[in-house]
Each structure stands twice: as structure tokens, then as C-alpha cells.
Amino acid sequence: MVYLIINFLIISVDQLTKRLVKKKLGINEKHEVIKNRFYIWHKKNTGISFSVFSGHIKAISTATAVLTVIGYILFIIMLPVKGIKSLKTGFSFLLAGAAGNLIDRLRDMEVTDFLYIKAKSAPIFNIADIFLIIGSVISALSLKSE
């Protein structure tokens, strides 16, 4: 049950932060948080990571919806299994990230990104993206150590 609560909390924080950015900043507007280093920058993404496949939102939405549903089915099946706490944690984070961005795609036909760390070729990302990456790493490391 704790993993589902974690999952719900991540999705909630993701959606709340996106809602705040949409309310406070216009599209393409940015706010400097740390001088020349870190910005809140309201961007829209109709693709996936790094705007890959931009403009193919229906195909991306369909694929991510199917994969997210399959992921949640597997997650629910693994919940009662003992001894795989790190894998459950990783999966919980990964699925929360996927669900957070999927909600945007289904509701808005795009994903709201807003976190930008100034660096060469750095992407603009969101809370869901952070947990997709962290969850993927934890899950991969968990599988490797099993």
C-alpha cells in the first residue's frame, strides 16, 4: 500500500507544480532562480524526452497509455511479493512519472516542462521526468542485484 501512496503523491506534486507554472508564467516565459544557472521556464512539449517525435502526440499518447497500463498491471501483481522493496520503489517512481506526463498528454495534447539547468544541450524537464529517470535507475539496479 505504501508504494501506491508514494505513487499518488508523486503524481500529485507533478500535477500541482505544472498547474502553478501554467498559472504564473506564460508559455516560453522564464524566471531565473539561481543567477545564470537554474530557471523555471514554461515550455510545451508535444514529443517525448528531448522533444523527440514532436508533433506525433496521438501516437505517443496511445503508446504511453498502453505501456503505462501494462506497467501498473505488473506493478499490482508484484506488490504482494516479498523481498523486492527496491524494485517496487523504482517501479512506483517510474510509473508515477509516466502517469504524470500521460495525464498532460491526454488532457492538453502536450506536456508542460519547466525546470531548466543551464548547460550545453540541457533539456527542460518536469517533476514527472525526474521520477521517470530515478525510477528507471533504481529498477535497473534492483534487477541487476537480484
State how far the alpha carbon of 66 is from the alpha carbons of 5, 23, 53, 62, 102, in Å.
Answer: 22, 30, 17, 6, 10
Q: Tell me which residues are annotated as active site.
A: 113, 129
How many angstroms separate the Cα of 122 from the Cα of each of 39, 68, 126? 12, 26, 13
User: CB under 8 Å to 73, separation ≥6 — which residues?
Assistant: none
Handedness of CA 65, 18, 13, 144 (dihedral sign): positive
Can you point out the beta strands (E) in the chain?
30-34, 38-45, 111-117, 124-125
